[in-house]
Amino acid sequence: MPSERENTILVVDVGRTSYDACWEMQRELVELRASGRVPDLLLLTEHPHVYTIGKTGNEKHLRVRRSELERDGIPVVHTDRGGDITYHGPGQLVGYPILDLHCILPDLDRYLRGLEEIIMRALDRFSLRGSRMEGYTGVWVGEEKICAIGIKTTRWITMHGFALNVTTDLSYFAKIIPCGISDRGVTSMERRLGRPVRMSDVASVVGNEFVSYFGYRKAEGGMSALLQLLEGVGIRRAGLSGEQSQFHGEYEVTV
């Protein structure tokens, strides 16, 4: 359920980013959010081809040799989110909320259900019926998964998030057992609608639904506002500095 408290959030389309660079960006922003130097943030991005394996993931769910993927320039990254193996690539909208859950929703299960609800509301705007599936986290259309969710929290500050298949080339999922689920398929908005979908349209709708659901007031400025915030705390290009942040009291959520 959304919080009744109105907070400010900055929704930023950071464009296409490498997975590693965006992961480092998140780590830096989590530290800044924990110290109150930046507001809550929703980063929207699109990654080049990459397979990521969560803390509870199993590399046996990779159906091809890593050498084959490396030959094609596709990395396999062990990451610190909850969940198993998944694919990110062009045509997929990835959202990374950097939120202080103390301020809006200090309940991890309700937060996860909230992310699902936001995606379902966004899909409804495109005349697609999304749903939950008992025993699993994420959003489904029929028997096929359209949005994967995997998060991490550090002192109640969130990172990682959701990956919504918009115009994704679904053939890349054939190289893995997505999320470790072998008896269900994956789909995309484009496949279900039978027509092209503009990523910018989906990003706009998802951003607006996120703001509405959690009862935020949306800050203006986007990327320029984020860069100004970062320059104000001495970071010129978050995620690209190469410096490692130090964390304490971390835990992962398996989804």
Residues 6+ apart with CB under 8 A from 242: 24
Catalytically active residues, by annotation = 179
pLDDT in tens, 168-215: 999 999 999 998 988 889 999 999 999 999 999 999 999 999 999 999
Is residue 1 within 8 Å of residue 117, measured between CB atoms?
Answer: no
Largest interatomic CA distance in the chain: 51
- Give the count of alpha carbons within 13 A of 99, CB side only: 29
Angstrom distance (rounded) from CA 11 to CA 98: 10
Residue 252 has pLDDT above 50, yes or no: no
Domains for the chain: give ranges and CATH numbers: 7-253 (3.30.930.10)
pLDDT score at 234: 78
d(CA 46, CA 52): 14
pTM score: 0.90
The tokens 């949306």 sit on which residue? 218
245 close to 31: Cβ distance less than 8 angstroms: yes
Q: What is the band of 5 on the pLDDT scale with cuts at 50, 70, 90?
A: very low
